[in-house]
Amino acid sequence: MSQSSIPLTQSYAQQLDAQDELTKYREEFYLLPAMYLDGNSLGLMSKRAEKSLQDIMLSWKELGIDGWTTGQHPWFFLPEKLGEMSASLVGAEPEEVIVTGSTTVNLHQLAATFYQPQGKRTKIIATELDFPTDIYALQSQIKLHGLNPDEQLVRIASRDGRLIEEDDIISAMTEEVALVILPTVLYRSGQLLDIERLTKAAHERGILIGFDGCHSVGAIPHYFSKWEVDFAYWCNYKYLNGGPGCVGSLYVNRKHFGRVPGLTGWYSSKKDKQFDMEHTLDVCETAGAYQLGTPNMLSVAPLLGSLEMFQEVPIEKLREKSLKLTRYMMDLMEVELAGMGFTVANPTEDERRGGHVSLEHEEAVRICKALKEGGIIPDFRAPNIIRLAPVAFYTTYSEVWESVQVLKAIMQEKRYEKFENKRGVVA
């Protein structure tokens, strides 16, 4: 890369902060003593999320079972309400999104529905850089059809170990493929795939396609309905700040409404029929059909407060700041960390980059430990990746500037050498 011409001073970062109209939202979050650059793994708690959790707990305390249908936020209709609040983040109609399950449960549900191998169409396309849970779930679904995952799960190879070329995915879309399931953003390198192009290519070949949006929803605008994506699923505890283990979400294009999901439960029913208690399912004709059982209200509740902020700030504006933050971080790294053994592994083009910077170094484990000691919370991914995610709602340009200065000092003074080269149980 060419040397950057940006000012390297702290005053320049402060100037950028002064011009940032989203700065006021920083006060909405409980900030840690350390600079937090791990929002792509777990978002910080907001004061609104805390309050909405307290509100649901209060309704349980004061209303008991009547909380299901009365009070400020009747529990029975909360998954649909939150789906409606989430819809604009993925470019969907309100009925196409439901808050339910978890990433893995929702993937199993959607694969059980849309993976219907027939004749020679028996294969599923994924990539060799997918998050492991996606692969495990798809292997399970293939086995449930009595097929061999080693033969039926096609994992697109990376040419460089970091990125996946869309051309390689499209070339694999043969007449033997029944389904394609891909990440919107690769969790290690932060590459953003061309969702619109891939969806069009799949449909031209008679193939259904879905996406794992865990590393993009809340940071990157999507237009799933416009692009005619068949389905998608994502977690709500990263960029959406819903809390650890927060209930997940899924999207199903309305063209599939009325289809009986592969997995059903009493929450798959039409809402007005659910308590008829009949043994014949009257399936809901929205994404709500893909629910299974009673939602965990204390896990759903924080999303009420968190999603309020996403309704106030368009996702396009959050994306604009996210791109500026990551661009500023990369520009600083280019100059300040030159010759220190680092490689920026994520794409540098705005249209191909997710919400985090992926930095490779052979001492990544020990460097992450030194960063924590230096007041910065990063994220490590094996074998050699430091992920740094400046989040638009609560990260400042000054924090980006300071984090690079700390990283520079760690390398110059070899502070990382005192740490063991071994990751923790949770990385």
pLDDT at 425 over 80: no
Q: How confident is the model at residue 421 (pLDDT cuts 50, 70, 90)?
A: confident
Query: Could you write out the DSSP letters of every residue in 83-145?
Result: HHHHHHHHT--GGGEEE-S-HHHHHHHHHHHH---BTTB-EEEEETTS-HHHHHHHHHHHHHT
Sign of CA dihedral 82, 84, 89, 91: positive
| Rg of the chain on CA atoms, in Å | 22
Is residue 132 marked as binding?
Answer: yes
End-to-end CA distance of the chain: 30
Alpha-carbon distance of 397 to 370, in angstroms, equals 21
pLDDT at 109 over 90: yes
Alpha-carbon distance of 102 to 99, in angstroms, equals 9
Asked if 334 and 1 touch (Cβ cutoff 8 Å), the reply is: yes
pLDDT digit string, tens, across residues 402-413: 999 999 999 999
Alpha-carbon distance of 135 to 181, in angstroms, equals 10
pLDDT digit string, tens, across residues 43-73: 999 999 999 999 999 999 999 999 999 999 9
Query: What per-residue confidence (pLDDT) applies to 4?
Result: 58
Q: What is the pTM (predicted TM-score) of this model? A: 0.96
Is residue 115 marked as binding?
Answer: no
Dig out the tokens for 273 from the structure: 């029929």
Asked if 118 and 239 touch (Cβ cutoff 8 Å), the reply is: no
Count Cα atoms within 13 angstroms, Cβ side, for 37. 33
**Nearest CA among 310, 292, 303, 293 for reference residue 247:** 303
Asked if 232 and 287 touch (Cβ cutoff 8 Å), the reply is: no
Is residue 9 marked as binding?
Answer: no
pLDDT at 76 over 50: yes
Helix (H, G, I), strand (E, B) or coil at 50: helix
Is residue 104 marked as binding?
Answer: yes
Helix (H, G, I), strand (E, B) or coil at 242: coil
pLDDT digit string, tens, across residues 288-338: 999 999 999 999 999 999 999 999 999 999 999 999 999 999 999 999 999
Is residue 395 marked as binding?
Answer: no
Dig out the tokens for 391 from the structure: 């989040």
Q: How confident is the model at residue 5 (pLDDT cuts 50, 70, 90)?
A: confident
pLDDT at 156 over 80: yes
Which residues have a Cβ under 8 Å from the Cβ of 398 and sit 6 or more positions away? Answer: 10, 13, 14, 17
Mean pLDDT for 175-185 is 98
Alpha-carbon distance of 366 to 382, in angstroms, equals 12
Taken in order of first residue, the domains within the chain and their CATH numbers are: 10-30+314-418 (3.90.1150.10), 51-312 (3.40.640.10)
Is residue 150 marked as binding?
Answer: no
pLDDT digit string, tens, across residues 380-409: 999 999 999 999 999 999 999 999 999 999
pLDDT digit string, tens, across residues 197-237: 999 999 999 999 999 999 999 999 999 999 999 999 999 99
Is residue 237 marked as binding?
Answer: yes
